[in-house]
Amino acid sequence: DIATTQGCIFIGTGFPVTDTFETDGPVGAIALYEALEKLGAKPVIVCGPPLSDAIANDYRVEHLQLGTSHDRVAEAKTALAKWQPQLLLSIERPGMAADGGYYNMRGEDISPRTACFDSFMLECECPTIAIGDGGNEIGMGNVTAALENLNIVPASTKCDELVIADVSNWGGYGLIALLGQMEERDLLAEISPIKILQYLSNLGSVDGVTRLNQLTEDGLDASAGDELILKLRQITGFA
């Protein structure tokens, strides 16, 4: 039960865009981190640079190496043994394609700039949840047949529970809404997407669609996230 987990929870995130990271994913990851910590869990954000270096002073971070020059399975096993997570969450994490590479929605090979969280999903002995929105993220291996006609290089990595959203951050808010309902606590009231976006923007994030350093997620103004949060709070009886 995610709501009653008191131990470590890994949150994998960070999608490389040019030489930095996009806003979709880390915003939801930080929101989940803060919500889970309030419920007594010990969340750890698992990611590679530059995101891992950017947020390390403010959050627990497990740093991953980029590229393929190291043993990625050993990297995962070492971190899993160190932290002993009880749950793995992946939000807008590049998923390995059938050919072993990583690709963005434009079909560009981003493997050299991508850290591997897939090995964590495959090597762990705990439940796994993945959130994605485009088909090239970890977890989308669950719905391979539905991706066959899309003009993308789909991810093949699977998970126990897949959450699909228009924007991955929004899938994170959905999980927080569920947690709040289970615990009878208005967790979403304590989440401010614009504040998290501003924090990440100051660290050099870009919108994954526009590739600009602005307070948007997948080309959408932060107000869209605020509106969704309000609707989720209304659905769960807190607003």
Q: Residue type for 172, please? A: G
Predicted confidence at residue 69, as pLDDT, reads: 84
pLDDT at 6 over 90: no
Tell me the pLDDT of the chain averaged across its residues. 96
CB atoms within 10 A of CB 61: 18
Predicted confidence at residue 55, as pLDDT, reads: 99
pLDDT at 4 over 90: no
Mean pLDDT of 195-215: 96
Mean pLDDT of 202-216: 96
Handedness of CA 31, 41, 3, 115 (dihedral sign): positive
- Residue 5 — very low, low, confident or very high, per pLDDT cuts 50/70/90? confident
pLDDT tens digits, one per residue of 46-104: 999 999 999 999 999 999 999 988 999 999 999 999 999 999 999 999 999 999 999 99
3-state secondary structure 49-107: CCHHHHHCCCCCEEECCECCCCCHHHHHHHHHHHHCCCEEEEECCECCCCCCCCECCCC
Q: How far is it, in rounded angstroms, from Cα 97 to Cα 226?
A: 33
Mean pLDDT of 27-53: 98
Q: What's the token pair of residue 49?
A: 């640079």
pLDDT at 15 over 80: yes
pLDDT tens digits, one per residue of 215-224: 999 999 999 9
Q: How far is it, in rounded angstroms, from Cα 52 to Cα 41?
A: 20
> Where does residue 57 rank: exposed (0-12), middle (13-18), buried (19+ CB within 10 A)?
exposed
Q: Rounded to an integer, what is the distance from CA 112 to the centroid of its chain?
A: 19
DSSP string, 113-150: G-B--HHHHHH-SS-EEEEESSSSBTTGGGGHHHHTTS
**Which domains occur in the chain, in start order?**
2-235 (3.90.1640.20)
Element housing 8 (H / E): strand 8-12
Q: How far is it, in rounded angstroms, from Cα 109 to Cα 209?
A: 16
Say what the pTM is. Answer: 0.97
Predicted confidence at residue 90, as pLDDT, reads: 99
pLDDT over 90, % of the chain: 95
- Residue 2 — very low, low, confident or very high, per pLDDT cuts 50/70/90? confident
Q: Which residue has the higher pLDDT, 124 or 191?
A: 124
